Amino acid sequence: LNLENRLRRALERHEFTLAYQPQVDFRSGRITGVEALVRWLDPEEGVILPGTFIPLAEETGLILPLGRWVLEQACAQTKRWHEQGFKHLKVAVNLSMVQFHQKDLLEMVQEILQRTRLEPRFLELELTESAVMRNPGTAIRILSELRDAGIQIALDDFGIGHSSLNYLKQLPVDRVKIDRSFIRNMPVDSADVAIVTAIVTLAHHLRLRVLAEGVETDAQRDALRSIGCDEYQGYVFSRPVDPGDLVPLLQQCL
Ligand code: G
Ligand code: G
Ligand code: MN
Ligand code: NA
């Protein structure tokens, strides 16, 4: 069986699962949200990471049913966390460019929110900077509709795409996620410190919040805190975890 057919079969057999990585607020030290990250549990190969199947899922269109499943799972799980008392937890879900341009995106998202009874303000959709910038005019229209529905928007992998700062000003987004390539060599690499400082300053002037991705060390975390970054995500706090393993973290940090 080739990879495409295995992927198709995996969808039918529900061989996917979501891991959740905490997002931590610098000021309060609390977990404010989680990013949902899909994993394929292949009976033979074990855990397969998205890097190896998302591109194929996009090419074949399988990303549409898979993406819908991811969104529904993430919203349903977050509603359960709310019911367990973690009432302010947000969930961030990655959208591929193919999903972003699907005609009934808004209707699909709203239907899932209604079915899972999750309030729209607790859902954040992550789009990569490069996906959005490919067609900024269309992106602005689609993002506006989503935001008018109360859904939050994050620009993922920020800093590595070609974003015109002029468009950043116009884009209806709530936050930017600084790509981990800028964090990796902080605080030793002073050019990276300068870039991250500039992104934070710019974003704050545009009234956007800033999250740093891929934070692995205390030194990186300290530098980001002193720069004024709002939130972070990374191994220094927690890897992406199974939903059950999130609860003890929430009990400590919410
Ligand atoms: O841990 P990690 O290997 O999960 O994630 C690798 C990449 O896969 C990330 O860039 C992330 O944006 C992407 N990804 C993870 N989950 C999803 C998903 O549900 N949908 C889409 N489109 N991309 C995802
Ligand atoms: O959507 P995005 O590309 O941002 O997906 C996040 C990816 O980053 C996932 O593959 C996740 O497993 C990974 N990741 C999360 N925290 C860290 C970290 O601290 N270091 C590194 N190298 N990768 C991380
Ligand atoms: Mn992401
Ligand atoms: Na990212």
Helical packing angle, 50-60 and 3-12, nearest 10°: 90
**Looking at the DSSP assignment, which residues form a beta bridge with residue 17?**
39
| Domains of the chain as residue ranges with CATH | 3-253 (3.20.20.450)
CA of 156 to the centre of ligand 4 (A): 5
Output the average pLDDT for the chain.
Answer: 95
Tell me the pLDDT band of 33, cut-offs 50, 70 and 90: very high
Model confidence at 133, pLDDT cuts 50, 70, 90, reads confident
Range of lowest pLDDT (108-117, 119-128, 155-164, 233-242): 155-164
The pLDDT > 70 percentage for the chain reads: 100
Q: Using one digit for the tens of pLDDT, what is the confidence trace for 194-214?
A: 999 999 999 999 999 999 999
d(Cα 132, Cα 70) in Å, to the nearest integer? 21
Write down the pLDDT at residue 166. 78
Ligand closest to 19 (CA) is 1
Percentage of the chain beyond pLDDT 90 is: 88
Q: What one-character DSSP code corresponds to residue 101?
A: T
Average pLDDT of 242-248? 96
Given pLDDT bands bounded at 50, 70 and 90, which one contains residue 254?
low
CA atoms lying within 13 Å on the CB side of residue 132 = 33
Ligand nearest to the CA of 39: 1
Model confidence at 132: pLDDT above 80 = yes
Nearest-atom index, ligand 2, CA of 51: 10
Q: Which long-range contacts (CB under 8 A, 24 or more apart) does 106-115 make?
A: 106/142, 106/145, 106/146, 106/149, 108/68, 108/71, 109/71, 109/146, 109/149, 109/151, 110/149, 112/68, 112/71, 112/72, 112/75, 113/75, 115/72
Spell 160-174 as b/e; 16+ CB within 10 A means b: ebebeeeebeebebb
Q: What pLDDT, in 10s, does the model give residues 74-96?
A: 999 999 999 999 999 999 999 99
49 lines ligand 1 (CB under 6 A): yes
Test site for ligand 1: of 94, 98, 105, most ligand atoms within 8 A of the Cβ: 94
The pLDDT of 30-50, averaged and rounded, is: 95
